[in-house]
Homo-oligomer: A and B are copies of this chain.
Amino acid sequence: MKPVKVGLLGLGTVGTGVVRIVEGNQEHLSSQVGSPIIIERIAVKNSEKARDIDVDASKITTDPWEVIRDPEIDVIVEVMGGINGTKEYILEALDRGKHIITANKDLMALYGSEILAKAQEKQCDVFYEASVAGGIPIIRTLIEGFSSDRITKIMGIVNGTTNYILTKMSQEGATYSDALKEAQDLGYAESDPTSDVEGLDAARKMTILGTLGFRTNVELQDVTVKGISGVSKEDIAFAKRLGYEMKLLGIAECKDEEFNISVQPTMIRSGHPIASVNGVFNAVYVYGEAVGETMFYGAGAGAMPTATSIVADLVAVIKNLKLGVNGLKQIIPYKTKKIKSDENIFYKNFLLLHVDDKAGVLAKITQVFAEYDVSLDSVVQQANPNNPDAEIIIVTHNASKASMDKVLRHFDDLNVIRRVKSHYRVEG
């Protein structure tokens, strides 16, 4: 049988994992697709670099275009990352009729619709399971497993770095900066951790999940984002006291054809399945009208888990190739994009206020909530030995984001409030 030839762009840890799986599981793979799979050419940044695997030097090039333009190659696997260059490589490869597998969340979040449109025009497959939640087959699940259902909510722990940091803070009482430093020492966080800790990485993944879950063309700028750099030990201690864990959650909701998507540190009730997902693990909780609650858990990153998803995509693309049906099972968002207004986004809120320690303050504050029709679940006032101010801890019932914004603006003018120390979304 004629072998299928693959071009690999990038030979970092994930690329190395792809080579390992394709070579190590060759019998298992070829029994599924009916022919051998050969990694024909590999584009690298530095051809002199020492590597963990033996690769025939004649396959290596430092020029990605050589791989893209090789007429022998059927499928391009892109694991270089970044958006500079990769978009052009992929569009050109599609123009040449090659199928694409990518782990590149940045690319898919920013240019997914353009790339998928080109793929449809050229009847090529573009698969990107590895771009969200590493080894967890969540994209397949949203496209195929729940094709029959209307998905109303997706909540994801889709960034392992921040989940590691929050787990350390929760389980060991570490400060944010100590936990971040440890994550950096272990290689879980980069030296510039901004993209992870400020929620941008999670936002890109939620853009992809939202598009697939709601069948509408979600763009990155539709996602409101807040990172974890402002989360304190104290906040986590309050969360625990109230029966919550603090997690950086991507939350995508869709009701009456209108959606909203956000990423922010969220207090989630301890009994919720996603609350006990710890360390660098990822999980995606999906709520469908018919199926109800489901959750998918696993390694969100790492060379081998990510490579598992890439090679599973490769098997799917090659099966399609043999059957002559590439590009025909594409999910094209078909619903008009409608974003919920702040009046229609509802959730519970946790607030920690530092206030003047004198009579009548609580009455003034609760009056503000009443004025904007935000009802309260619990209110606790306490003295803080480390602070001359009193502390008020408030958990609201479901309130619209618009009303809460009005409450917070009103607080700016209320001179008994020294400051709004913390404000978090509460789930579950």
The interface stretch among A91-99, A147-155, A350-358, A366-374 is A147-155
| Any B CB within 8 A of the CB of A405 | no
Contact status B315-A292, CB under 8 Å: no
With beta carbons under 8 angstroms apart, the residue of B31, B144, B292, B304 that contacts A290 is: B304
Contact status B25-A308, CB under 8 Å: no
Residues of B within 8 Å of A145, CB to CB, are 129, 137, 140-141, 309, 312
Q: In whole angstroms, how far apart are the Cα atoms of A136 and B273 in the complex?
A: 15
Query: Of residues 20 to 48 in A, which have CB atoms within 8 Å of B's CB atoms?
Result: 20-21, 25, 28-29, 31-32
| Any B CB within 8 A of the CB of A215 | yes
With beta carbons under 8 angstroms apart, the residue of B20, B289, B299 that contacts A291 is: B299
Q: In whole angstroms, how far apart are the Cα atoms of A3 and B20 in the complex?
A: 46
Residues of B within 8 Å of A299, CB to CB, are 291-294
Contact status B17-A135, CB under 8 Å: no
Number of copies: 2
With beta carbons under 8 angstroms apart, the residue of B21, B290, B297 that contacts A273 is: B297
- Looking at A136, A276, A288, A294, which has the most chain B CB atoms within 10 Å of its CB? A294
| Any B CB within 8 A of the CB of A311 | yes
Smallest CB gap from A149: residue in B = B308
Query: Of residues 265 to 310 in A, which have CB atoms within 8 Å of B's CB atoms?
Result: 273, 276, 281, 288-299, 302, 304-305, 307-310
Residues of B within 8 Å of A294, CB to CB, are 135-136, 296-299
Residues of B within 8 Å of A305, CB to CB, are 290-292
Contact status A144-B312, CB under 8 Å: yes
Residues of B within 8 Å of A314, CB to CB, are 148
A170 CB to nearest chain B CB (Å): 14
Known: A297-B297, A325-B323, A328-B323. A147 touches B32 (CB 8 A): yes
Residues of B within 8 Å of A295, CB to CB, are 295-298
Q: In whole angstroms, how far apart are the Cα atoms of A293 and B141 in the complex?
A: 17
| Any B CB within 8 A of the CB of A337 | no
Known: A17-B290, A21-B290. A147 touches B316 (CB 8 A): yes
Contact status A146-B150, CB under 8 Å: no
Residues of B within 8 Å of A328, CB to CB, are 323
Contact status A137-B148, CB under 8 Å: no
Smallest CB gap from A147: residue in B = B315
| Any B CB within 8 A of the CB of A329 | yes
Q: In whole angstroms, how far apart are the Cα atoms of A312 and B29 in the complex?
A: 25
Q: In whole angstroms, how far apart are the Cα atoms of A21 and B334 in the complex?
A: 19
| Any B CB within 8 A of the CB of A319 | yes
Q: In whole angstroms, how far apart are the Cα atoms of A187 and B428 in the complex?
A: 27
Contact status A25-B148, CB under 8 Å: yes
Q: In whole angstroms, how far apart are the Cα atoms of A147 and B307 in the complex?
A: 12
Contact status A296-B293, CB under 8 Å: no
Interface residues of A (CB under 8 A from B): 17, 20-21, 25, 28-29, 31-32, 129, 135-137, 140-141, 144-150, 215, 273, 276, 281, 288-299, 302, 304-305, 307-312, 314-316, 319, 323, 325, 328-329, 331, 334
> Can you list 10 A-B pairs with a CB-CB distance of less than 8 A?
A28-B215, A135-B288, A137-B141, A140-B140, A140-B145, A144-B144, A290-B308, A292-B305, A294-B299, A296-B296
